[in-house]
Structure 1
Amino acid sequence: MTILITGGDGYLGWPTTLRIATQTDDRVIAVDNLARREWVESVGSTSALPIGSIDERLDAAREVHGVQNLSFVEGDLVEREFVDELLSVHEPDTIVHTAAQPSAPYSQINGERANFTQHNNLQATRNLLWGLEEHDLTDTHFIETTTTGVYGAPEFPIPEGGATMENQGERDEVPFPAMAGSWYHLTKSHDAANMRLAHKQFGIPISDVRTAITYGTETEETNADPRLSTRFDFDYYFGVVAHRFCAQAVAGYPMTVYGKGEQRKPFVALEDAVEGLAQLALADPDDRPSDLTVYNQVTREISIVEIAETIADVANEFELGVEVEHFENPRDEDETHKMVMENDRYDHLIGGQSTTFEEGMRSLLGTLVEYEDVITAHEDRFLPGVLTED
């Protein structure tokens, strides 16, 4: 058996790769073009936690965890020839597709970056799906991390994937309508539609894992050695809100809540996100889904202002004086939206949430205080501003 993980050098992809490789004797192949490092550098920022080269990471995985089944292939999934060679040589039984340009704010900077984001993300997914069909690999379980952002912000509880539509007295189950709010989120809406079509036309078994805002610095595997750390971005463009707030607390910088901040967003701890992907990837072949299944990879919803207040309370334990300040919202969104998202399927998959949000923030701050110098050196990146030219 062969498991292929795209985006294997990324924030979510690297710890997922480690989790899977340590729990199976099957071949595990991580694939990445290492572009995330370049994108973050292009906006003038860096990872708060130092991260080694991919070779250093692989060496550490072998030394610390005894991993002998893990290899790395560098390449760009946008290039059709590379994908064809990748699939024909390795013939994966499972693909965990986490590779993408993942930042909504980055995709909103200008037309060039919007075009890049859509071309990069959509082309990579299409190449993989069509590659499975053209290389007679349609039994391969295709698992992709899309995003809960494809749902937008409806005023009713968001179902786990589908919706019931009624017209003129007739009812039917239909895909939930795409209501994405950024050029990045639209790529995942299109990916979801393309995966549905690939399942219908090619019969590929697909797990559409709609990933919530993911927070945390470590998993059980990465925590074993500093060389195994995954990246931690804290800037406006690549740092998710909880990460940015924690970094601001460490730097003694006011936590920047945009607008009222009463809108609730879906969240999942890195450990819980990794566990779900590993469970799907390592499922016994007889138990793998043959259909298209949507998972809402979320463990709870929390408002932006509650995030800031929670971090401010926890920061007191580290003697960090931090204030919460409200700024004009650069995004077009309902600042009071009370999101509710169903997650029964995903909750069952991981056996329940592993840690509370408050515990996650305590662990996160405990790690970040060690890297205060790196964060303060880049505190001008907390807010949108003039970017470094590519």
Structure 2
Amino acid sequence: MSILITGADGYLGWPTALRIASQTDDRVILVDNFGRRNWVEEIGSVSATPISDIETRIEAAEEVHGLSNLSFVEGDLTNKDFTDQLLTVHEPHTIVHTAAQPSAPYSQINGERANYTQHNNLQATRNLLWGLEEHDLTDTHFIETTTTGVYGAPEFPIPEGGAVMENQGERDDVPFPAMAGSWYHLTKSHDAANMRLAHKQFGIPISDVRTAITYGTETDETAADPRLATRFDFDYYFGVVSHRFCAQAIAGYPMTVYGKGEQRKPFISLEDAVEGLTRLALMDPDDREDDHVVYNQVTRAISIVEMANTIADVSAEFDLDVEVEHFENPRDEDETHKMEIENERYMNVIGEQRQDFEEGARDILGTLVEYDETIKAHEDRFLPGVLTE
């Protein structure tokens, strides 16, 4: 019996792999092509936390946590022959699919990167879904981290997946329309549709986990040894807004809030995201709500300015003098949008929130003060000027 984790070298995939492996005797197969490392290097940045190579990580996992059930396979899931071989050799009963080019800004740089993002993300998912059908593995639970970005920013509360449409007096439940705002986010809208079709045609059980903006530097497992650290990106292209704010605080720059910053975005801590994926991966089939479920992987919506002010307050605990400054917004967005998003299904999975944003900011800053030289050496990657390149 085996569990397959794609994108297992990444920010979310690696700590998820560690937690799953610590809670099962099944073989946990890690798959990656090290794309994230290459993309970040390409745009001239680096992970703030030093990240070990995969061999060192696995050795440390066994030494520190006693995990002898981790194996690694290097390969590109857009290659159908590789994907077919992977599935036929390991015959996973569960796939946690976190592999993707995850950056909206990267996908917007030019047409080449937009094309790459769409091909990479969609082809990998299609190869996995069709591979399960073609190799008689349609009982495999397919869990994918998509994104809350597929919803856009509607004025009404965002449901957990579906919507109700009414026309000429008739009502029906329909999939939420794709309202993505970037070429990356649209790949996840297409993935959601492809997973729905694979469930309908092949009967594959699907958990579409729509992941919110994720913050944090560590989980219990990764914090146990520096060799187990997950990556932490802080640049404009791959670092989420909360991570960029923390990097600015460490480097002694004001936090750059674009526009009013009153718009709310969905957030979740790394700890809460890892816990949910782990519970879904190890859940007994009889305990799953249905064979095709959408989860909003979010604990709360936070405004950008609230987030900046929270980080500024916590920064004082580390003797950092941080200010919040507003800059002209380069994005076309409603700067006062009060997002509401339902998350009852996901909260039922994890039970309760494990880390709120203030605690997360404290953990992030506590980690980053150790790597301030790395951050200061790459400050051109997160200051507003990078937007004009």
TM (norm. structure 1) is 0.98
- Separation of aligned partners in 1, 2:7 and 2:58: 15
SS in 1 for 2:287: coil
Indicate the residue corresponding to 2:208 in structure 1. 208
SS in 2 for 1:267: strand
- Equivalent pair of 1:148/1:210 in contact (CA under 8 Å): yes
Q: Percent identity?
A: 82
- Which aligned pairs between 1:206-355 and structure 2 lie closer than 5 A? 206-288=206-288, 291-355=291-355
Instruction: Count how many residue pairs are aligned between Structure 1 and Structure 2.
Output: 388
| Counterpart AA for 2:199 | H
- Separation of aligned partners in 2, 1:301 and 1:162: 19
Indicate the residue corresponding to 1:162 in structure 2. 162
Displacement of 1:290 in angstroms is: 5.0
| Counterpart AA for 2:78 | V
- What RMSD over aligned residues (CA atoms) do the two structures have, in Å? 1.2
| Counterpart AA for 1:205 | P
SS in 2 for 1:260: coil
For structure 2, the residue ranges without an aligned partner over 5 or more in a row are none
Indicate the residue corresponding to 1:50 in structure 2. 50
Displacement of 1:287 in angstroms is: 2.9
- 1:47-80 deviation per Cα after TM superposition (whole angstroms, max 9, x unaligned): 0000000001000001000001110000000101
- 1:211-264 deviation per Cα after TM superposition (whole angstroms, max 9, x unaligned): 000000000100111100000000000000000000100000111111111100
Indicate the residue corresponding to 1:175 in structure 2. 175
Q: Does 230-239 or 347-356 show the bigger shift?
A: 347-356
Change in CA separation of 1:300 and 1:386 when aligned onto 2, cut-off 3 Å = closer
- Separation of aligned partners in 1, 2:73 and 2:24: 19
- Separation of aligned partners in 1, 2:291 and 2:332: 36
- Separation of aligned partners in 2, 1:9 and 1:384: 29
- Which aligned pairs between 1:63-212 and structure 2 lie closer than 5 A? 63-212=63-212
Displacement of 1:103 in angstroms is: 0.3
- Equivalent pair of 2:146/2:192 in contact (CA under 8 Å): yes
Displacement of 1:113 in angstroms is: 0.5
- Equivalent pair of 1:237/1:384 in contact (CA under 8 Å): no
- Separation of aligned partners in 2, 1:196 and 1:98: 17
Displacement of 1:289 in angstroms is: 5.4
SS in 2 for 1:266: strand
- Separation of aligned partners in 1, 2:94 and 2:293: 15
- Equivalent pair of 1:207/1:295 in contact (CA under 8 Å): yes
Displacement of 1:386 in angstroms is: 6.6
- Separation of aligned partners in 2, 1:100 and 1:198: 19
SS in 2 for 1:347: helix
Displacement of 1:326 in angstroms is: 1.4
- Separation of aligned partners in 1, 2:78 and 2:340: 35
Displacement of 1:384 in angstroms is: 6.1
SS in 1 for 2:268: strand
TM (norm. structure 2) is 0.98
- Separation of aligned partners in 2, 1:286 and 1:176: 26
For structure 1, the residue ranges without an aligned partner over 5 or more in a row are none
Q: Does 319-328 or 134-143 show the bigger shift?
A: 319-328
- Equivalent pair of 2:380/2:386 in contact (CA under 8 Å): no
Change in CA separation of 1:325 and 1:386 when aligned onto 2, cut-off 3 Å = closer
Q: Does 209-218 or 321-330 show the bigger shift?
A: 321-330
- Equivalent pair of 1:141/1:288 in contact (CA under 8 Å): no
List, as ranges, runs of 4+ consecutive aligned residues in structure 1 with deviation greater than 4 Å.
384-387
Indicate the residue corresponding to 1:366 in structure 2. 366
